Amino acid sequence: MNIRRICIYFEQIYTQGLAHSSYLVGSGDKCIVVDPSRNIARYLEIASSKGMKIAGIMETHLHADFLSGHMELAKATGAKIYAPKTAKCLFPHVPLSDGEKVSFNKLKFQLIDTPGHTPECSVYLVSDMERGKEPVMVFTGDTLLVGDVGRPDLFPGIKEILAEKLFYSLKRLKAFDDCIEVYPAHGMGSLCGRSLSAKLSSTIGNEKKYNYALAYQDIEEFKKALLENMPEAPDHFARCSEINRKGPRLISSLIRPRGLSPEEAFRLIKKGYLVLDTRNYLHFASSHIEGAFSIDAGGNLPLFAGWILPPEKKIILVAEEEGCPRNILDALYSVGIESIAGYIEGGISSWISSGFPFGHVGVLTPRELKNMPGLKGNITVIDNRLRKEWLGGRIPQSISVPAPDVRKFHTKLNKAETVVTVCGSGSRSMMAASILKQKGFKSVYNLAGGIEAWTNSGFPLEQEK
């Protein structure tokens, strides 16, 4: 019996925070990177360690939730960028039409147009010619996710059209062999879909069996399911896809953040520079620079930084560690927050010891919140989780205001009243509290430990009847 050797190398690279999966797949001395993140060090390291040259960069679509690393990787390796022709990319690349094939040693990639999540969304069917001509895997980008599909509402003016196109695109995918392995660009935690699985891969057969979106036979029912009650798309989704079309700037061209004395930072803040505080939310509560945004680096920093920070503003960073940590810079650069002017030398301690004013946010335990006088009257509890989380169980009398929405919703609140912010753990709600403080609210408290602490204290949650 002649047993064929499987010659391909495969690795999935997962980026925490973005819930993003990219891939490196190789044959012989060449490898391809699919949907790279902006931090390309990992791809270069893998290729070097395996003695392979990165010969191609494949983009499934113009990503909306992060800036792709295609320009960085092409500059570093000389590899060609391949992208759907329908994307109309403005940087040097090889545009691929529906059905077009590209080979790298024993690997054969075939682009299949699957519009719906975005107008140019595509997938790549991959064959390992050492084994045979039949495809063995498909890189589905955001068209087909594990347990879900890419949301079709990112372009509100054409969302009905995109939902229809997605319905027919999924029909094309359902015609693929059940054994083909599915490798999407996102997993649970991404807002590119609504109910993504924690699993990072699947098969066509499993998705046909378990993915709710593939079960619809009626296009109108499908559209209703995909367009109703979808969470709001973050602000940066609208701008990232267009930046990816043009080609993001090389990180090496960005101005490197520098150390700032408290005095210099104070002057720049007076000129309109923003302060981003990425420390633990409890540290922010005890002392922070007035007007700072709190986005805990231990939470989903890239998502919320892209969502609420104005990209045109220059930013001064305050972090737990001294200086400007690389992981925080990578997270900000990944969503197009590039104007990091500097960081305060000595951190918040040097700011305070220099005599500059600082603020704080009151922190409550669940018992303190439950026993607060007037909880049913002159105190407003706002739940800063996503609405679907709030519907699943919330503190009685609380109202649903997802953290980013506080930027607008604050006008409906009474500044004379006490506002208590709540989320799952305390991180998102501190971000909401920091926004309320910017807007002039004086009596703001955050529930330490959030809903988790509330339920662990034995207090009930209210649910939809």
Q: Please give the tally of structural domains in the chain.
A: 3
CB 185 within 8 A of CB 63: yes
Residue 440: Cβ-neighbour burial (10 angstroms; 0-12, 13-18, 19+)? exposed
CB 347 within 8 A of CB 308: no
Query: Do 115 and 152 belong to one domain?
Result: yes
- Boundary (domain end) residue, out of 295, 324, 353: 353
pLDDT of residue 2: 35
Provide the CATH number for the domain around residue 66.
3.60.15.10
Query: Do 13 and 75 belong to one domain?
Result: yes
User: pLDDT tens digits, residue range 296-315?
Assistant: 998 899 999 999 999 999 99
In a domain, 289, yes or no: yes
Question: Max alpha carbon distance in the chain (Å)?
Answer: 82
Query: Do 62 and 37 belong to one domain?
Result: yes
pLDDT of residue 6: 45
Query: Do 270 and 203 belong to one domain?
Result: no
CB 47 within 8 A of CB 36: no
Provide the CATH number for the domain around residue 279.
3.40.250.10
- Boundary (domain end) residue, out of 353, 371, 401: 353
Query: Do 195 and 77 belong to one domain?
Result: yes
Query: Do 405 and 326 belong to one domain?
Result: no
Query: Do 417 and 344 belong to one domain?
Result: no
Parallel/antiparallel/unpaired status of strands 53-58 and 80-84: parallel
In a domain, 298, yes or no: yes
In a domain, 299, yes or no: yes
In a domain, 270, yes or no: yes
pLDDT of residue 7: 58
In a domain, 128, yes or no: yes
In a domain, 397, yes or no: yes
Per-residue pLDDT of the chain (465 residues; tens, 9 = 90+): 333 334 589 999 999 989 999 999 999 999 999 999 999 999 999 999 999 999 999 999 999 999 999 999 999 999 999 999 999 999 999 999 999 999 999 999 999 999 999 999 999 999 998 888 899 999 999 999 999 999 999 999 999 999 999 999 999 999 999 999 999 999 998 888 887 888 999 999 999 999 999 999 999 999 999 998 888 889 999 899 999 999 999 999 998 999 999 999 999 999 999 999 999 999 999 999 999 999 999 889 999 999 999 999 999 999 998 878 999 999 999 999 999 999 999 999 999 999 999 999 999 999 999 988 655 557 899 999 999 899 999 999 999 999 999 999 999 999 989 999 999 999 999 999 999 999 999 999 999 999 999 999 999 999 876
In a domain, 465, yes or no: no
> What is the model's pTM?
0.92
Query: Do 14 and 161 belong to one domain?
Result: yes
- Domain holding 290, by residue range, is 254-353
Query: Do 28 and 103 belong to one domain?
Result: yes
Query: Do 180 and 41 belong to one domain?
Result: yes
- Measure the CA–CA gap between 77 and 179, rounded to whole angstroms: 34
- Boundary (domain end) residue, out of 332, 353, 374: 353
Residue-wise burial string across 312-340, b where 16 or more C-beta atoms lie within 10 A, e elsewhere: eebbbbbbbeeebbeebbbbbbbbbbbbb
- Measure the CA–CA gap between 27 and 410, rounded to whole angstroms: 55
Instruction: For Cα atoms 250, 309, 232, give the angle at the middle one, nearest 5 degrees.
Output: 105
Query: Do 169 and 315 belong to one domain?
Result: no
In a domain, 263, yes or no: yes
Cβ–Cβ contacts within 10 Å for residue 283, how many?
16
Cβ–Cβ contacts within 10 Å for residue 195, how many?
13
Can you give the C-alpha Rg of the chain in angstroms? 24
Tokens of 185: 């660009």
Query: Do 87 and 39 belong to one domain?
Result: yes
